[in-house]
Amino acid sequence: VGSEMCIRDSEYARCVPFAEAFLRLTLQAQDKKNKTGAQNLGYEEWLALDRAGEVAFMLMESFYALGNGQAALDAYAQYFSRSKSEDKWRVMALCLVSEFLVQERDYLGAYPLLGEVLSIAPKAGLHDLAFTAGLMKGICVRQLGPSTEFETENGVGSGDRFINIKSPKNLASSEYK
């Protein structure tokens, strides 16, 4: 098992410089497109722009596999954070960052990203990721906990101020009676 991990890690490590070089070319193609217009792009430049999201996602995945989460977050910031597209690679990158943040117990950081996944994943045809993002948002809410105490099953609350407010658990169970 250890040798398999080493092989996989070396494959990820080999991928990184090629992905970074490809993405640098993509940025140059994007600059050319912005300055001279789309009609002046060659086939390779169009192909580079078309594949940029996929390569950026692969780069992020490689960094995470190599244990360099910060480099993966930097790659996300550079290639996806300014984009408002509904591209499947952006959705998957958002999921990757969200998963990393949840594993790091940064639930407050993951929550808005998961909300974004939930809103754009169905438009990108990734309904399973939207469902998973919804579940992960629930995990974030559960881990963050309420900011005030609510009445609980055994009657413990935070005073008279919240006496008529039911806990989420009680509220959910009363809806299905």
First to last CA, the chain: 51
The contacts of residue 95 (CB under 8 Å, 6+ apart) are 117, 129, 132, 133
Alpha carbon 62 to chain centroid, angstroms: 15
**What pLDDT score was predicted for residue 25?**
85
The contacts of residue 118 (CB under 8 Å, 6+ apart) are 130, 133, 134, 137
Q: What are the structure tokens assigned to 11, written together? A: 């494959």
Q: Which amino acid is at 15?
A: C
**What pLDDT score was predicted for residue 164?**
54
Q: What is the pLDDT along the chain (177 residues), one digit of tens a residue?
A: 443 444 467 788 888 888 888 888 888 888 888 888 777 788 888 888 888 889 999 999 999 989 888 999 999 988 887 777 788 899 999 999 999 999 899 999 999 999 999 999 988 888 888 888 888 888 888 888 765 554 455 455 544 544 555 555 555 555 545
Q: Are 124 and 87 in contact (CB under 8 A)?
A: yes
pTM: 0.69
C-alpha–C-alpha distance, residues 97 and 43, integer Å: 32
**What pLDDT score was predicted for residue 151?**
47
127-144 and 107-120 helices, crossing angle to 10°: 150
C-alpha–C-alpha distance, residues 3 and 98, integer Å: 29
Residue 151 phi, psi (nearest 5): -60, 135
**What pLDDT score was predicted for residue 48?**
80
Tokens 């780069």 identify what position?
59
Q: What are the structure tokens assigned to 129, written together? A: 């990721």
The contacts of residue 150 (CB under 8 Å, 6+ apart) are 157, 158, 162, 165, 166, 167, 168
**What pLDDT score was predicted for residue 172?**
52
**What pLDDT score was predicted for residue 159?**
47
Residue 145 backbone zone (phi > 0: left; psi -120 to 50: alpha; other: beta): left
